Amino acid sequence: METVSELGALSAESTFSDTPTDSCSNAASMSLTPPTTVSPDSMSLASDPDIPKLDTVTAPLLDSAILTLHLEQQAVQDQSSESRQETPTASAIVVADSPQPADTTSTTRPRRARNSLPVYNLSQLSQLSSNRRSKHDAASEKRRRTISEDTLVNGEQKDTNASTDTLQKTSKAVQNGIDALNMDWSISGPDTPKGARKNTKSKASQPPAPAPLERRATRRSGLPAETITTTIAALTKKTKKTLGKVQSNISLELRRLQDTNEFAHIDTAPIRYTVWSNGKYVDPTEEKEASSSRKRTKESETELVDTDKNQPEPEKQEPSGPAVKKRRVKKWLDKGLYAGQEAPTDISKGFSAHEKKMLAAHPELKPSDKINKVLPAPIFNGLRLIAAGRDFKLPYDVCNPLPPGQPKPTTYRTITKNRFVGDAAAYWKKQPVFEDSLSKCVCKPEDGCGEDCQNRIMLYECDDTNCNVGKGLCQNRAFQDLRERKERGNPYRVGVEVFKTADRGYGVRSNRFFAPGQIIMEYTGEIITVDECERRMNEEYKDNECYYLMSFDQNMIIDATTGSIARFVNHSCSPNCRMIKWIVSGQPRMALFAGDRPIMTGEELTYDYKFDPFSAKNVQKCLCGSPNCIGVLGPKPKEPKPAKEAKESKDAKKSVKGSVKAGKRKLKELLAGEQDEEEASTAAKKRKIKTATGVKGAKASLSATSIKAAKGAAKGAVTAIKRSVSSISVTAKTALGRTGGKVQRHSTTNGVVKKYGKKIGSSATVKTSSRSSSLTIVAVGAKNTPKKVGGTSKNATPKSAASTASARNRTPTWKARASASTPTSAAKSAKSVKSDAAKSRSALDLSRSTNRIRLVTE
Ligand SMILES: C[S@@+](CC[C@H](N)C(=O)[O-])C[C@H]1O[C@@H](n2cnc3c(N)ncnc32)[C@H](O)[C@@H]1O
């Protein structure tokens, strides 16, 4: 109050507005704008040397200063001119808050006068507004924290007639201004909430505000400058004491607030960054929840995996010492496409029990310690495939079985091995034919029982008893290969199937590839005797459409009515197979072999029946369709010989006959001359013919033609007999009429029929060859049979036996050696040759010299 009274005394010249709405207090003008500005010509207290100098540091600290005085110079001048015309010097005038014009009665408006009076924006000054903390406002606030001296002085020199309340308010305003000048003044000053509360309190306790002070220009106040300075100095001295007390309180408060974040302008609230996705705001709380739920799921999965592990992982031993920071090493790619995919150590991981079992069947896939780092992924994909397997379709060229549902022959039974029926077995054993099987081939391992193997040439299959090479290298084990192929049980490996042809009944086709000469299938059936064959033909097969009978061996017949499907193989004049008999382990066996060219998938298998239709009535039309088809199922019809050729041969025959006759005559004469040597000598003396020269003369008398013919005939006979001697099958050949390499089929047929031909009832005739003719095929002809294909009876005389026989004939040396090793056999063979040769009609055609040669051979 003391200060107020002094102020009232000092500010006798100050004029305060009486406007009730205005207030000198800061609180009264809190809602008013704009802030005042400092007059440019006003004198700053800081710049006055008489006034205690304010530290320039205070300015920044006065961020929330509540007092910024704006001096409206013009208004002050107006006011001053009214009150004191003689005091044009600058003077401090307390800023009036009245919105009314300061001088409504003034007639002359100063040059820079303003129409409206400025007021304090205490809201801004107290930094309570939301924008208060912005840098810009802070800076502007700092600029406003200078109070001019004139303002203060004018405030003190207010009219002394003002009321005490008005003075109190004025002094309060001044006090606040002074507070703002204090270097320790801070935000916690009057503008702080506490200060605001204080002001509010004081306002509530105070009576209604007086009229606003009038603003007057300092320069027009008429007061001398010295007076103002002195007044201010006195004011300062007096108020300094009071201010000291306030200061101490404020300092305390400031010290208390200095530690707060708010004071230090530290924003502890977390920085929030907003996330937008596709124009929508992404709530971070939701994202956080989603991620946490994902994390929880992952953790639960990890726990499940951990529980699945039977063996708990050994706990990692933490290093006891201080944690050593592990140096990070860059991982370089050392692989290409599958970089980073390590091969699993357990390749069966993830396999089912069945798959693991299948995998165990492949020892080559057994996991090893060595990890394959090359191509892990495809290998492990294929591994499952290898273990599990799957069906797949091969290209047509490889395998092409017929689809299911094909017409198949129904009424036949199958056997895979020859079976002796009735007396055949007993009869078979009596035939000591296969002593030769005791011999052994002389092949070297590198030869592998190839084309030169003696067993192969003789159509003997090698086995452990007769092979010098061994199973691993021997290539002459066709029937064993066939057995192994069938044992695998895969129909594709067997490679044949029956199918229905368009015009020849059933046939057999290949559903795989066969190499040239490869065995395809065995011709099996029941081995029966001729008598049994007759019986069956008359009784069992009399109503059958087809017969499957073939001469086999030792005067036996193989009946494939119950047998393998080889019986369905049809005839062709250009066949792709051969039916060959082999001796396997001492037993004859028939099989179908691929011919000289490979057999492709889907081809029909055929062989040349070499039919011998004993009756012209049974000739069937051949439907093989090959370009060189002879048209019938049987031997090729004899072509008529050309006339010239026939004449030449006739002449040659005549010539031979003539020469032989001449020779005989000469020989007779010679012999007669020997008998009557003496007479002859006498006669010779008489006729001058010498005995010694008789033969010579006889020989010489032979014509050159006859000698040549005789030599040729003798040579052929020698060759034929040599063959006969060297081969067991020579008897068969002789029976076939091959003597002299001339007569073939004619003599064979006649001889066989004469000797072995039998009538079977009234319908069929069975023709068999000599017992020693191992492979002369039985021709079964049904009388009065329709000629249509697949009709009643068939005449089948495939002559693959001929090839077998000829094959044996190709090995005279080996056979001779074999015979030598078995004297008994050799003797028998020789005996047989002798008797058979004697039986041969062709031998009768030979000259005496032929007989002589044969005798020599014997
Ligand atoms: C051993 S069977 C062959 C299987 C016979 N196709 C079947 O359906 O049972 C022989 C008979 O087949 C017939 N055949 C075989 N090849 C023939 C061909 N090229 N032309 C006409 N018929 C043939 C003849 O009827 C012959 O008598």
With helix as H, strand as E and coil as C, how does 641-707 read? CCHHHHHHHHHHHHHHHHHHHHHHHHHHHHHHHHHCHHHHHHHHHHHCCCCHHHHHHHHHHCCHHHH
Across 219-234, average pLDDT: 65
Q: Which of 18-27, 395-404, 460-469 holds the top average pLDDT? A: 460-469
The token pair at 236 is 């300062």
Ligand 1 atom closest to residue 569's alpha carbon, by position in its atom list: 3
571 ligand 1 Cβ < 6 A:
yes
Q: How many angstroms separate the alpha carbon of residue 478 from the centre of ligand 1?
A: 27
* The pLDDT of residue 166: 55
Q: How many angstroms separate the alpha carbon of residue 413 from the centre of ligand 1?
A: 19
Q: How many angstroms separate the alpha carbon of residue 621 from the centre of ligand 1?
A: 10
Distance separating alpha carbons of residues 572 and 628, to the nearest angstrom: 10
Look-up: residue for tokens 């540091």?
57
Among 6-20, 202-216, 700-714, the least confident range: 6-20
Task: Out of 500, 571, 629, 630, give the residue to mutate to test ligand 1, the one with the largest number of ligand atoms within 8 Å of its CB.
Answer: 571
Query: Sorting pLDDT into bands at 50, 70 and 90, what band is 169?
Result: low
Task: Out of 561, 608, 785, 789, give the residue to mutate to test ligand 1, the one with the largest number of ligand atoms within 8 Å of its CB.
Answer: 789
Q: How many angstroms separate the alpha carbon of residue 517 from the centre of ligand 1?
A: 23
More confident residue, 117 or 256: 256
pLDDT in tens, 252-281: 888 878 778 777 777 777 777 777 777 778
Across 516-522, average pLDDT: 94
Q: DSSP assignment, residue 621?
A: B
Across 158-182, average pLDDT: 55
Q: Please state, for a pLDDT cut of 90, what percent of the chain lies above it.
A: 11
Task: Out of 550, 633, 795, give the residue to mutate to test ligand 1, the one with the largest number of ligand atoms within 8 Å of its CB.
Answer: 633
623 ligand 1 Cβ < 6 A:
yes
How far out from the chain centre does Cα 348 lie?
18
DSSP, collapsed to helix, strand or coil, labels residue 381 as helix
Query: Sorting pLDDT into bands at 50, 70 and 90, what band is 127?
Result: low
- Identify which of 149, 160, 156 has the alpha carbon closest to the alpha carbon of residue 219: 149
568 ligand 1 Cβ < 6 A:
yes
Q: How many angstroms separate the alpha carbon of residue 506 from the centre of ligand 1?
A: 8
Distance separating alpha carbons of residues 196 and 29, to the nearest angstrom: 12
Q: How many angstroms separate the alpha carbon of residue 64 from the centre of ligand 1?
A: 126
pLDDT in tens, 802-830: 333 333 333 222 222 222 233 333 334 33
Among 150-154, 184-188, 337-341, 838-842, the least confident range: 838-842
DSSP, collapsed to helix, strand or coil, labels residue 814 as helix
* The pLDDT of residue 278: 77
Q: Would the pLDDT of 629 be above 50? A: yes
**Direct distance between the N- and C-terminal alpha carbons of the chain, in angstroms, rounded to an integer:** 178
Distance separating alpha carbons of residues 632 and 794, to the nearest angstrom: 12
Q: How many angstroms separate the alpha carbon of residue 550 from the centre of ligand 1?
A: 14
pLDDT in tens, 296-336: 777 777 766 666 555 555 555 555 566 777 888 887 766 66
Cα torsion for 701, 705, 710, 713, to the nearest 10°?
Answer: 180
Q: How many angstroms separate the alpha carbon of residue 567 from the centre of ligand 1?
A: 9
Q: How many angstroms separate the alpha carbon of residue 500 from the centre of ligand 1?
A: 11
Q: Would the pLDDT of 690 be above 60? A: no
Across 488-514, average pLDDT: 88
Across 565-570, average pLDDT: 93
Q: Where are the alpha helices (DSSP H) in 163-283?
A: 164-181, 193-205, 225-258
Task: Out of 406, 414, 504, give the residue to mutate to test ligand 1, the one with the largest number of ligand atoms within 8 Å of its CB.
Answer: 504
Q: How far is CA 121 from CA 97, 115, 129, 269, 424, in A?
A: 10, 18, 10, 30, 142
624 ligand 1 Cβ < 6 A:
yes
Query: Sorting pLDDT into bands at 50, 70 and 90, what band is 29?
Result: very low
* The pLDDT of residue 171: 60
Q: How far is CA 59 from CA 42, 120, 124, 165, in A?
A: 18, 18, 16, 31
Ligand 1 atom closest to residue 567's alpha carbon, by position in its atom list: 1
Nearest CA to ligand 1 atom 4: 568
Distance separating alpha carbons of residues 683 and 705, to the nearest angstrom: 31
The token pair at 50 is 């008489």
The token pair at 298 is 């992952």
* The pLDDT of residue 319: 55
Q: How many angstroms separate the alpha carbon of residue 498 from the centre of ligand 1?
A: 13
547 ligand 1 Cβ < 6 A:
no
Please indicate, yes or no, whether the overall pTM of this predicted structure exceeds 0.80: no
Across 588-606, average pLDDT: 94
* The pLDDT of residue 225: 57
Look-up: residue for tokens 């081995």?
527
Sign, Cα dihedral of 355, 359, 360, 361: positive
Other C-beta atoms closer than 10 Å to the C-beta of 738 total 24
Distance separating alpha carbons of residues 796 and 608, to the nearest angstrom: 10
pLDDT in tens, 763-805: 333 333 332 223 333 433 333 333 333 333 333 333 333 333 3
Ligand 1 atom closest to residue 622's alpha carbon, by position in its atom list: 20
16 ligand 1 Cβ < 6 A:
no
Across 670-688, average pLDDT: 47
Distance separating alpha carbons of residues 70 and 154, to the nearest angstrom: 13
Ligand 1 atom closest to residue 560's alpha carbon, by position in its atom list: 1
Nearest CA to ligand 1 atom 26: 794
pLDDT in tens, 534-547: 899 888 888 877 77
- Do 54 and 148 touch, CB atoms closer than 8 A? no
Asked, as a colleague might, if the bond just before 270 is cis with ω within 30 of 0, I would say no
Q: With a cut of 0.95, is the ipTM above it?
A: yes
* The pLDDT of residue 50: 43
* The pLDDT of residue 189: 43
Query: Sorting pLDDT into bands at 50, 70 and 90, what band is 80?
Result: very low
546 ligand 1 Cβ < 6 A:
yes
Q: How many angstroms separate the alpha carbon of residue 753 from the centre of ligand 1?
A: 24
Within 8 A by CB and 6+ apart from 756, the residues are: 530, 767, 768, 769, 770
How does DSSP assign 780-827, residue by residue? Answer: EEETT---STT-S-------HHHHHHHHHHT-HHHHHHHHHHSHHHHH
Across 17-38, average pLDDT: 36
Q: Would the pLDDT of 533 be above 80? A: yes
Task: Out of 524, 570, 606, give the residue to mutate to test ligand 1, the one with the largest number of ligand atoms within 8 Å of its CB.
Answer: 570
Q: Would the pLDDT of 646 be above 90? A: no
Across 3-17, average pLDDT: 37
Q: Which of 94-98, 272-276, 483-487, 792-796 holds the top average pLDDT? A: 483-487
More confident residue, 343 or 776: 343
652 ligand 1 Cβ < 6 A:
no
Q: Which of 107-121, 223-237, 502-516 holds the top average pLDDT? A: 502-516
Q: How many angstroms separate the alpha carbon of residue 561 from the centre of ligand 1?
A: 14
Across 58-83, average pLDDT: 44
Q: Please state, for a pLDDT cut of 70, what percent of the chain lies above it.
A: 38
pLDDT in tens, 347-404: 777 778 888 888 788 777 776 666 655 555 555 566 667 766 777 777 777 788 888 8
Please compute, for residue 461, the number of CA atoms within 13 A of its CA located in the half-sphere on the CB side.
21
The token pair at 512 is 């795989």
CA angle (268, 270, 271) in 5-degree steps: 120
796 ligand 1 Cβ < 6 A:
yes
622 ligand 1 Cβ < 6 A:
yes
